[in-house]
């Protein structure tokens, strides 16, 4: 039997034409993942759809002056690293242009290719998200951070 869902999240994975992903660095005083790199994401509010949450989080975290095209949606998926208590909805987008304007939650952003990915200390779950969306070959991901039996 699965654990009850404690929270639901929408996660935006943005990929550019060079197959790089957009990572955001969290503030040093962030409650979860301080100073670590992650995706534009957030809690789904009561009565809010996962897609609406994904759009809201994009506007809040990277600004309104962005153009994206949808690639794939996936979910719900239960997390593998927090006891399966989180329900995750993944939104894969292709960057079409614009300018990124970070909010107070983040201190930096970077476009990161598969070859440089392991140089970034990421929030637990990022490797799993990339695995589920099949963005890069699995050998670029941390096998210890993939769903059980997948590494």
Query: What CATH number has the domain bearing residue 50?
Result: 3.90.79.10
**Residue whose pair of structure tokens reads 């301080």 in the numeric block:** 34
- The 10s digit of each residue's pLDDT in 115-129 is 999 999 999 999 999
- The 10s digit of each residue's pLDDT in 42-88 is 999 999 999 999 999 999 999 999 999 999 999 999 988 777 889 99
Residue 1 inside a domain? The answer is no
| pTM score of the predicted model | 0.94
In the predicted structure, residue 137 carries a pLDDT above the cut 60 = yes
Expressed as residue numbers, the domain containing 122 is: 7-145
pLDDT at residue 79 in the model: 84
């Amino acid at each position: 039997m699965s654990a009850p869902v404690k929270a639901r999240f929408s996660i935006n994975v943005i990929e550019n034409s060079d197959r790089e992903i957009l990572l955001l660095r969290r503030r040093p005083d962030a409650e979860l993942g301080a100073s670590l790199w992650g995706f534009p994401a957030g809690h789904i509010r009561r009565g809010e759809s996962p897609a609406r949450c994904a759009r809201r989080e994009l506007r809040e975290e990277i600004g309104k002056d962005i153009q994206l095209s949808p690639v794939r949606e996936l979910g719900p998926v239960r997390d593998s690293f927090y006891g399966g208590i989180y329900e995750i909805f993944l939104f894969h987008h292709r960057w079409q242009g614009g300018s990124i304007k970070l909010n107070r939650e983040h201190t930096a952003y970077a476009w990161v290719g598969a070859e440089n990915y392991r140089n970034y200390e990421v929030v637990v779950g990022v490797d799993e998200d990339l695995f589920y969306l099949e963005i890069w070959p699995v050998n670029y991901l941390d096998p210890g951070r993939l769903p059980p039996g997948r590494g």
